[in-house]
């Protein structure tokens, strides 16, 4: 295909479902590799169209020559990439010949959806390439240590939708939280703040909210500081280098967010002990987790992400159980939203202490036990 002849959309090839363990010949292995190769190059072509500005130009019907001039790409490259977009069902040819984005793609070419689409493409492509590069060099290991600022910002932009989703689907179910966040003394702690996109988004929706962004990586905090200053929030957002397991704040926050996929189980457990003391009475901890639903390839990829980032893929039931064991009350789960594998679980620091309050939790907060309170760990509360 060349010139203006980028032609008619071909229906995508159907791939038969392939149950696990049924590859029985070298030919079947070769077939699987070819299928994966097509997916890799189709994804790369979509990312190429995004990075070159081709997607935005397709918001209106344009010829290949026009697209080439507007993107500074050679016509043959534009033709080949557009052909893939047509095969993916993202672009359609019209008389002229010209090409235009399909309705499903058009909303993602502007507004908040635009940055989310770019973040998904950029983050997944760059991180997968880095994984292979590190493996080749013998230095692949668990842990979130990105060196490329593009990866940092892409990962941050992937979370930009969360504040709106929380306000609509999560916060109304957490007793008193919306009222607290709208108050004049409202305070939020973002563990693993990254480039602060989530913190900025939450502060923009609650004008009196102040926040602390915690992260162990100096490079990350440098990027976060630039973002915070660009949004004129330096007087409301404190960026602090540190780890959640070393947190020393007491009764300081109404809401604490923890992305569990970046923390080992032991770190998450130790962090929750500190967060109990850092929350104000009645405050909430919100734990974000990636939750595979089954034994599919997609779920296996989610588990790989968590491993590469230094955490584990925890089910919502596991997180709720952990919150209960750590002495939080009203623990509840919120299933994944919009088909994404992102789930949340929340637990509350008790508003006040009663005679039956958890003795381990009381001691962690510096409350002296009464004579009648048992020492040691209660049943089913594992030793640290």
- Tell me: do 175 and 89 sit in the same domain: no
CA 149 from chain center: how many Å? 16
167 and 294 fall within a common domain: yes
Q: Which uninterrupted H or E stretch holds 91?
A: strand 91-94
Question: Tell me, what CATH number does 309's domain have?
Answer: 3.40.50.150
Residue 160 and residue 68 share a domain: no
* Residue closest to 347 by CA, chosen among 299, 286, 288, 296: 286
Domain that holds residue 271: 153-352
- In eight-state DSSP terms, residue 170 is I
pTM for the whole thing? 0.81
Is residue 95 in a domain? Answer: yes
Residues 63 and 178 in one domain: no
In a domain, 115, yes or no: no
The answer on 256 and 162 residing in a single domain is yes
**Would residue 123 count as lying in a domain?**
no
Domain shared by 169 and 296, yes or no: yes
Q: How far apart are CA 284 and CA 274, in angstroms?
A: 13
Q: Are residues 79 and 159 in the same domain?
A: no
Q: How many domains does the chain have?
A: 2
Q: Say if residues 283 and 252 touch (Cβ distance below 8 Å).
A: no
Evaluate whether residue 17 is within a structural domain.
Answer: no
Tell me: do 256 and 325 sit in the same domain. Answer: yes
235 and 309 fall within a common domain: yes
Tokens of 128: 């997968």
- Cβ neighbour number for residue 129 with a 10 Å cutoff: 13
CATH number of the domain at 82, please.
1.10.10.10
pLDDT tens-place values along the chain, 384 residues long: 344 444 444 444 444 445 555 777 888 899 999 999 999 999 999 999 999 999 999 999 999 999 999 999 999 999 999 999 999 999 999 998 999 999 999 888 887 788 888 999 999 999 999 999 999 999 999 988 877 888 888 888 888 888 999 999 999 999 999 999 999 999 999 999 999 999 999 999 999 999 999 999 999 999 999 999 999 999 999 999 999 999 999 999 999 999 999 999 999 999 998 999 999 999 999 999 988 777 788 889 999 999 999 998 888 999 999 999 999 999 999 987 666 688 999 999 998 754 344 555 545 555 444 333 333 332 232 333
Assess whether 212 and 323 both reside in one domain: yes
- Residue 136 Cα distances to 130, 132, 142, 257, 368, angstroms: 10, 6, 15, 35, 55
Read off φ and ψ for residue 67, nearest 5 degrees: -65, -40
Count of helices and strands (H, E) across the chain: 14, 9
Q: Is residue 103 part of a domain?
A: yes
Judge whether 141 lies within some domain: no
The two three-digit tokens of residue 91, written as one number: 């672009």
φ/ψ of 259, rounded to 5, equals -85, 100
Q: Establish if 361 belongs to a structural domain.
A: no
- One domain, residues 293 and 175: yes
């Amino acid at each position: 295909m060349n010139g203006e002849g980028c032609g008619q959309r071909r229906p995508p090839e159907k791939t038969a479902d392939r149950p696990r363990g049924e590859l029985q010949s070298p030919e079947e292995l070769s077939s699987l590799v070819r299928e994966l190769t097509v997916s890799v190059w189709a994804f790369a072509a979509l990312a190429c169209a995004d990075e070159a500005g081709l997607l935005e130009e397709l918001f209106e019907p344009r010829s290949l020559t026009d697209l080439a001039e507007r993107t500074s790409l050679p016509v043959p490259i534009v033709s080949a990439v557009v052909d893939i977009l047509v095969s993916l069902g993202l672009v359609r040819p019209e008389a002229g010949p010209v090409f235009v984005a399909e309705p499903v793609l058009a909303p993602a070419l502007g507004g908040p959806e635009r940055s989310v689409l770019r973040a998904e493409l950029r983050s997944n492509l760059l991180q997968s390439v880095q994984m292979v590069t590190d493996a080749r060099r013998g230095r692949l290991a668990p842990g979130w240590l990105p060196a490329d600022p593009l990866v940092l910002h892409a990962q941050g932009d992937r979370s930009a939708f969360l504040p709106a989703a929380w306000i609509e689907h999560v916060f109304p179910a957490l007793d008193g939280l919306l009222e607290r966040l709208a108050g004049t003394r409202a305070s939020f702690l973002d563990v693993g703040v990254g480039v602060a996109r989530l913190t900025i988004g939450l502060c923009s929706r609650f004008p009196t909210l102040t926040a602390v962004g915690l992260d162990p990586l100096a490079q990350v905090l440098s990027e976060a500081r630039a973002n915070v200053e660009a949004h004129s929030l330096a007087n409301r957002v404190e960026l602090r280098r540190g780890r959640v397991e070393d947190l020393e704040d007491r009764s300081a926050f109404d809401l604490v967010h923890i992305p569990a996929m970046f923390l080992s189980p032991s770190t998450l457990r130790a962090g929750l002990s500190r967060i109990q003391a850092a929350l104000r009475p009645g405050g909430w901890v919100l734990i974000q987790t990636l939750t595979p639903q089954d034994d599919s390839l997609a779920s296996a990829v989610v588990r790989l992400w968590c491993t590469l980032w230094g955490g584990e893929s925890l089910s919502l039931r596991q997180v709720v159980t952990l919150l209960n064991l750590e002495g939080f009350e009203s623990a509840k789960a919120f299933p994944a939203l919009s088909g994404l594998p992102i789930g949340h679980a929340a637990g509350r620091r008790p508003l006040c202490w009663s005679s039956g309050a958890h003795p381990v939790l009381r001691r962690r907060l510096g409350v002296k036990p009464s004579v009648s309170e048992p020492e040691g760990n209660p049943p089913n509360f594992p030793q640290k």
